[in-house]
């Protein structure tokens, strides 16, 4: 064993993985979800140079020019993106091979490389790729990679993720079950009369029952494990494969047949673990501490877990005012639907001798959050990049959990507005200043 290998093993406590079958299985679970992630990214044009040039990329507010960091091209232009992700595929195969060979320092190094790329995408390259299940995976993988006492901190981290998730449920969304009763189909396999009972049971178990996963009492521990196993299998009926794929393998490995009680460690070696845990707590708390309504105005919504925060519906009007008359401008089609929005109105008119294009978008699915920041990030570059555009007016009417539509945004020129990450944005409104409009119809999750 070389000096470099010995040093690497010491810095990252790789000996724990070598001696612990639970951690070895967690390495496999982490690799599995890297595959799930990259399989969805390999053809994603939103992470390409062409997307940035077209103003379609949405950056985090703290890296507003993230498109300048893109180095892959759209699959329609060349093969750079697919080549890059096939290289990652080969790396994942090498990770599986190193696990079979029990070369755990090599497995660790491969997972570290994959972790760096995924974290870079989620927290630097794309605001819209920052999803709760990616947070889930990155937090657990960070505990596996970087801290001593890995098994203990993985268990605490897993339970903490449940606790983080429940913080977004302590409102009418889950206490009254309004998220699901405002859907056409309601909860899968359950009548509406049982919705509130089910949602409050989930709140109770995620807030309190999850701690029994680390109980010394076998019956309590197994009861909690079976509940969460059933919960994640049931949730897959609703959310499909992605969330169960990140949660179930870790749940089974950490708290299933291989479970053993892990005592609380003490000493200087625990500092790294508690530091990551503390950072995760602050990451979740930011969404509640910072000004704004993370469900309605969506400010700071992507800090921490935000899955099932509310059943969202919105109507968005984008009016583009040009500096001159453009008679050959294409009208576009109405009545078409994409992944997140349906275009219900599309028209051209002449105002003061200049063209105005009106487009109305409506969201048919409950998990499209109608984020004002995303609209600001996509529309603002149009003004700067197209000299024929004078201004773009933006109106957003937003409803949560079947409640009334509230006009959260009404600005005559979104390009003149500024988005402030850690402050209240004056152009994004909430009641009582926001106008209350009509009521939505029932929608669908997908």
Question: What does the pLDDT read at residue 133?
Answer: 95
Same domain assignment for residues 104 and 157: no
Mean of all residue pLDDT scores within the chain: 94
Q: How many domains does the chain have?
A: 3
What would you measure as the largest C-alpha separation in the chain, in angstroms? 78
Phi, psi of 395 (to 5 degrees): -130, 130
355-366 confidence digits (pLDDT tens): 999 999 999 899
Q: Which pLDDT band holds residue 433 (cuts at 50, 70, 90)?
A: confident
Is pLDDT above 90 for 118?
Answer: yes
Tell me whether residue 395 is in a domain. yes
Same domain assignment for residues 157 and 209: yes
Question: What does the pLDDT read at residue 269?
Answer: 96
Q: Residue 405 belongs to what domain range?
A: 312-416
Q: Which pLDDT band holds residue 376 (cuts at 50, 70, 90)?
A: very high
264-299 confidence digits (pLDDT tens): 999 999 999 999 999 999 999 998 899 888 899 999
Q: Which pLDDT band holds residue 238 (cuts at 50, 70, 90)?
A: confident
Tokens 């070389």 correspond to 2
CB neighbours of 6 closer than 8 A, spacing ≥ 6? none
Tell me whether residue 138 is in a domain. no
> Could you report how far apart the first and last alpha carbons of the chain are, in Å?
53
Tell me whether residue 349 is in a domain. yes
Tokens 């024929």 correspond to 388
Is pLDDT above 90 for 369?
Answer: no
Strands (E), 280-405: 312-322, 336-337, 342-351, 354-362, 389-400
Same domain assignment for residues 207 and 166: yes
Same domain assignment for residues 297 and 320: no
Q: Could you tell me the pTM of the whole model?
A: 0.95
Of 199, 49, 66, nearest to 130 (Cα)?
A: 66
Is pLDDT above 80 for 29?
Answer: yes
Tell me whether residue 442 is in a domain. no
Tell me whether residue 160 is in a domain. yes
> Is residue 430 within 8 Å of residue 293, measured between CB atoms?
yes
pLDDT > 70: what percent of the chain? 100
Of 395, 289, 147, 320, nearest to 156 (Cα)?
A: 147
Tell me whether residue 168 is in a domain. yes
Of 246, 223, 152, 238, nearest to 189 (Cα)?
A: 238
Burial of 400 (0-12, 13-18, 19+ CB in 10 A): buried
- Per-residue pLDDT, averaged over 90-104, amounts to 98
- Per-residue pLDDT, averaged over 436-445, amounts to 87
Question: What does the pLDDT read at residue 370?
Answer: 87
Question: What does the pLDDT read at residue 145?
Answer: 98
Query: Of 276, 310, 344, which one is at a domain's C-terminal end?
Result: 310
> Is residue 294 within 8 Å of residue 300, measured between CB atoms?
yes
Tokens of 119: 């974290």
Q: Is 243 helix (H, G, I), strand (E, B) or coil?
A: helix
Cα 367 to Cα 226: distance, rounded to the nearest angstrom: 28
Q: Which pLDDT band holds residue 413 (cuts at 50, 70, 90)?
A: very high
Is pLDDT above 80 for 339?
Answer: no
Same domain assignment for residues 304 and 329: no
Question: What does the pLDDT read at residue 144?
Answer: 98
The secondary structure element, H or E, covering residue 410 is strand 406-411
Is pLDDT above 90 for 336?
Answer: no
Burial of 190 (0-12, 13-18, 19+ CB in 10 A): middle
38-84 confidence digits (pLDDT tens): 999 999 999 999 999 988 889 999 999 999 999 999 998 999 999 99
Same domain assignment for residues 158 and 299: yes
Same domain assignment for residues 38 and 175: no
Better pLDDT: 433 or 407: 407
pLDDT > 90: what percent of the chain? 79
Tell me whether residue 84 is in a domain. yes
Same domain assignment for residues 303 and 321: no
Same domain assignment for residues 209 and 176: yes
Same domain assignment for residues 198 and 283: yes
> Is residue 395 within 8 Å of residue 410, measured between CB atoms?
yes
Helices (H), 20-149: 21-41, 49-53, 80-100, 104-120, 132-146
Burial of 311 (0-12, 13-18, 19+ CB in 10 A): buried
Query: Of 242, 277, 310, which one is at a domain's C-terminal end?
Result: 310
163-215 confidence digits (pLDDT tens): 999 998 998 889 999 999 999 999 998 898 999 999 999 999 999 999 999 99
Question: What does the pLDDT read at residue 132?
Answer: 94
Cα 183 to Cα 308: distance, rounded to the nearest angstrom: 13
158-172 confidence digits (pLDDT tens): 999 999 999 989 988
Is pLDDT above 90 for 428?
Answer: yes
Cα 355 to Cα 389: distance, rounded to the nearest angstrom: 10
Same domain assignment for residues 247 and 343: no
Tell me whether residue 88 is in a domain. yes
Cα 173 to Cα 293: distance, rounded to the nearest angstrom: 14
CB neighbours of 256 closer than 8 A, spacing ≥ 6? 225, 229
Same domain assignment for residues 180 and 290: yes
């Amino acid at each position: 064993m070389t000096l470099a290998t010995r040093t690497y093993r010491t810095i990252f406590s790789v000996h724990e993985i070598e001696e612990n079958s639970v951690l070895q299985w967690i390495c496999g679970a982490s690799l599995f979800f890297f595959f799930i992630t990259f399989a969805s990214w390999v053809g994603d044009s939103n992470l390409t140079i062409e997307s940035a040039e077209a103003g379609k990329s949405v950056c985090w507010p703290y890296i507003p020019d993230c498109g300048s960091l893109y180095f892959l091209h759209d699959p329609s232009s060349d093969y750079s993106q697919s080549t890059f992700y096939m290289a990652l595929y080969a790396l994942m195969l090498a990770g599986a091979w190193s696990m079979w060979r029990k070369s755990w320092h090599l497995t660790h190094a491969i997972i570290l490389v994959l972790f760096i790329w995924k974290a870079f995408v989620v927290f630097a390259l794309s605001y819209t790729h920052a999803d709760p299940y990616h947070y889930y995976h990155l937090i657990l993988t960070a505990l596996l990679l970087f801290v001593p006492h890995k098994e203990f901190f993985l268990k605490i981290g897993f339970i903490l993720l449940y606790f983080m998730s429940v913080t977004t449920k302590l409102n009418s969304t889950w206490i009254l079950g309004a998220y699901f009763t405002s859907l056409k189909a309601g909860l899968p396999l359950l009548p509406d009369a049982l919705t509130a009972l089910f949602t409050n049971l989930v709140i109770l178990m995620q807030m309190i029952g999850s701690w029994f996963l680390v109980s010394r009492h076998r019956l309590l521990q197994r009861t909690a494990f079976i509940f969460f196993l059933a919960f994640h299998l049931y949730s897959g009926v609703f959310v499909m494969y992605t969330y169960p794929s990140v949660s179930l393998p870790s749940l089974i490995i950490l708290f299933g047949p291989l479970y053993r009680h892990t005592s609380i460690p003490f000493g200087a070696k625990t500092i790294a673990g508690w530091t990551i845990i503390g950072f995760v707590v602050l990451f979740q708390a930011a969404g509640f501490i910072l000004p704004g309504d993370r469900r309605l105005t969506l400010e700071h919504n992507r800090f921490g877990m935000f899955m099932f925060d509310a059943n969202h519906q919105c109507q968005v009007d984008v009016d583009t005012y040009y500096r001159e008359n453009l008679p050959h401008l294409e009208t576009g089609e109405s009545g078409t639907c994409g992944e997140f929005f349906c275009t219900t109105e599309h028209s051209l008119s002449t105002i003061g001798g200049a063209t105005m294009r009106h487009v109305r978008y409506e969201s048919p699915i409950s998990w499209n959050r109608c984020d004002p920041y995303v609209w600001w990030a996509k529309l603002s570059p149009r003004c700067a990049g197209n000299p024929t555009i004078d201004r773009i007016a933006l109106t957003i009417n937003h409803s949560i959990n079947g409640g009334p539509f509230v006009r959260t945004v009404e600005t005559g020129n979104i390009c003149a507005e500024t988005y402030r990450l850690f402050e209240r944005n004056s152009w994004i409104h909430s009641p009582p200043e926001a106008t209350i409009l009509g009521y939505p119809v029932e929608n669908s999750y997908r």
